[in-house]
Each structure stands twice: as structure tokens, then as C-alpha cells.
Amino acid sequence: MTGAAAAGAAGSGPGPGTDAAGAAAEKKPDQELGSKAPAFIKRSRALHLSWQVGVFMVGLAVVGAGVAMLVLPGPGWVVIFAGMAIWATEFVWAQLVLRWTKRKVSEAAQRALDPRVRRRNIILTTIALVICTALAAVYFWKFGLTMPWEIERQ
């Protein structure tokens, strides 16, 4: 019996050809951590430190703008994650935070696609719309099309 036939006969799971593919699939999320700076910048300690300070300051400005956009008009969370992505080009801690965030977002998306969760969300949304419609109907019945700031005390 050959080695491949013996492995298949043992019933140990995937054959030898799939082990390399499985290892490659496992390595894909674990891309190398660390600085993505060009090699000529990494060669000089002072230049690399200056590069890191610059990347940190740009990332800080973007994250700060994103935090401001949480209370002001704008896509706050998107900008914050863009700033984290800028930091992740240079800092391992930001790469790990970004990787964890991507994993959690993927898990949440998968949970949202669950038929039971979708059905629950549709039911809750319908209930909320019915309540809002009822409140609007009571308002229009009592006050008509008068704006709330124009209502006089009765």
C-alpha cells in the first residue's frame, strides 16, 4: 500500500494535497506583523523613528476627526477605523486591534444573516413603526399640522 493510500485508508481526514492548502488558508489571516515602511526607511533608526512619529500623527489626526464626527455630521466610525488602518501600517498593536475588529464585524454580519435574528429584527422594526405611526396620528388628531414650537398653551 502506498503512503497516500495508507493515509486515505486510515480515515484521518483530508489527504496530503489539502494540508498545504489548509496551511496556506491559516497563514492568510496571520500576515506578518510589524512596520510596512519601505526598506530604505527601515535601514536608518532615526529615519524609521521619524516615519513612525509621522504615521502616528497622521493616524491621530484621522482618529481625532472621526471622534469629532461621532457628535458632528459625518461618518465617524468609518473615519476612526481608517485612522486605525493608518496606524496598522506601522504599529503591531493597531494591527491586532484592527484584526480583532474585522473578526467581530464578520461574526456580527453572520449573526445578522441568521433567519431567526432577521425575523426578530423585522418584527421589532414593524412594532417600532406601528408605535411611531400611532404617536404621529395622536399628534395630528390633537394639534393638526401645527409645528411643536408653535403650539400655544391651552
User: Is 86 within the bounds of a domain?
Assistant: yes
141 and 95 in a single domain? The answer is no
End-to-end Cα, the chain, rounded Å: 97
pLDDT, tens digit, 9 for 90 and up, residues 56-88:
999 999 999 999 999 998 898 899 999 999 998
104 and 121 in a single domain? The answer is no
Per-residue pLDDT of the chain (154 residues; tens, 9 = 90+): 444 444 444 444 444 444 444 444 444 555 677 777 778 877 888 888 888 899 999 999 999 999 999 999 889 889 999 999 999 888 888 889 889 988 998 998 888 888 888 899 899 999 999 999 999 999 888 877 777 777 676 5
Per the structure, how many domains does the chain have?
2
CA 72 to chain centre: 21
**Which bin fits 149, alpha (ψ -120 to 50), beta or left (φ > 0)?**
alpha
Provide the residue range defining the domain that includes 130: 114-154
Average pLDDT of every residue of the chain:
79
43 and 100 in a single domain? The answer is yes
Query: Model-level pTM?
Result: 0.52
49 and 88 in a single domain? The answer is yes
87 and 54 in a single domain? The answer is yes
Distance between CA 33 and CA 43 in Å, rounded? 18
Separation in Å, CA 9 to CA 17, 56, 125: 15, 56, 54
90 and 74 in a single domain? The answer is yes
